[in-house]
């Protein structure tokens, strides 16, 4: 009995294009949230909403690739990884774990 064969096939179809994900836990005390915006099939932008600012602050642009339930990000020499599990992206950045949840938006679909 192979319990993971169905899940493995499911993760290969993950599409992040035009989705936005937000993290509100384990963040800087000056921040309200962190946000990932997957603009294309291989480009993502990272933002921070600070408490004392009205506008989002763009903090990075990176490329990414998906391999089953893993997402690999690269920005120059900087790299980080996220795992997609139970509708949450668990990102490991600078040794910290950040849980990003997809924003509810009927226009965008994950699968």
Q: Which domains does the chain have, with CATH numbers?
A: 5-102 (2.40.128)
pLDDT of 27:
82
- pLDDT interval class at 105 (50, 70, 90): low
pLDDT of 55:
95
- pLDDT interval class at 101 (50, 70, 90): very high
Q: Kindly state the average pLDDT of the residues 93-103.
A: 91
Unique residue bearing structure tokens 């909403």: 49
Which long-range contacts link 98-102 to residues 24+ away (Cβ below 8 Å)?
Answer: 98/23, 98/25, 98/26, 98/27, 98/34, 99/23, 99/25, 99/26, 100/21, 100/22, 100/23, 100/34, 100/36, 101/21, 101/22, 101/23, 102/19, 102/20, 102/21
pLDDT of 68:
86
All residues at 6 or more sequence positions from 29 whose CB lies less than 8 Å from its CB, including other chains: none
pLDDT in tens, 33-79: 999 999 999 999 999 999 999 999 999 999 999 998 899 999 999 99
In angstroms, the first-to-last Cα distance of the chain is 26
Whether 17 shows a pLDDT value over 60: the answer reads yes
């Amino acid at each position: 009995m192979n319990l993971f064969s169905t899940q493995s096939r499911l993760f290969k179809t993950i599409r992040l294009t035009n989705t936005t994900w937000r993290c509100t836990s384990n963040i800087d005390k000056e921040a309200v949230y962190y946000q990932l915006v997957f603009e294309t099939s291989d480009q993502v932008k990272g933002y921070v909403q600070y408490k004392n600012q009205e506008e989002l602050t763009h903090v990075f642009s990176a490329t990414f690739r998906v391999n089953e339930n893993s997402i690999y990000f690269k920005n120059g020499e900087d790299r980080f990884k996220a795992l997609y599990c139970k509708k949450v992206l668990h990102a490991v950045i600078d040794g910290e774990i950040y849980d990003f949840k997809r924003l509810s938006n009927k226009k965008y679909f994950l699968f």
